[in-house]
Amino acid sequence: MRFRSDPAQIRGSIAPLVTPFTDAGDVDHEALRTLVRWQLAAGSHGISLGGSTGEPSAQSIAERAEGIRTVAAEIGDRVPFLPGTGSAKLAETLELTAAARDAGADAALVITPYYARPTQEALYVWYSTVAREFPDLPIVAYNVPSRTAVDIAPETVGRLHRDHDNFVGVKETTKDFEHFSRVLHAAGPDLLVWSGIELLCLPLLPLGGAGFVSALANIAPAAVAQMYEAAVAGDAQRAREIHFGVHPLVDLLFVETNPAPAKWLMKERGLITSDHVRSPLIPLTESGQEKVRALAAAADQYLTPVEVAV
């Protein structure tokens, strides 16, 4: 939690881990610890757990809290930890955010409440409630309208940022790049904005983005981290080379519903022991496996070797 008092340090490639399960469907905590070690060895600048890639809605609050504790203990304060603590229910969101705070998280990533389709005023009240409940914990909104059916407006983000000192940022997972600009314009340059859209990670940085929370980091953490490092070092050519080079791997992630393709490839490469995904998702189909193999081969040089974990 050493980054909690200065959330502006939470920058770069924040890897949003998959939640590994056993073949029986239980959370595999040993595999989770291995993934954290692998991410840190590969150069990821931070860790997240419980975003869409982590299948949070298919887990109980107790399971999610235990996963947060496992990851926090394994990180040991070496890099920022930004776990997802949101739910469709306010009580669950507060319970899980408290668990993250107590585990030593540096900030809480709180998804917009899904299914209910709240108004902007309702979203303001929701995030204000969370921010007031945890005044010493940085709060980051997670905007992913393709999954939640609600889009937190730039004006609402700006209002929250002005009204609550601990409302520090937003993870934007929208393909509307104009939205990124409007959020920064409405809230000001000190708002921390991370991209959750793989092919908008690099373009966000010149606008003042803090980095990215990209599912691609589950299979190519070194490349994603190096793209950020090249960009901030002024090596635009190298950053663009990686950006375009990983295109096949980005396509790979979405051959079928994320995270099934990534989990299948991670199992194939020996990073996890099972590619189990919880219902309503299903494991990658045979036709999907063929596509993933081809796309992985097309950008093999950008896949981070499994041996980095040693």
Closest residue by Cα to residue 134 from 177, 90, 89: 90
Distance CA 26, CA 136 (A): 33
Active site residues per annotation: 142, 171
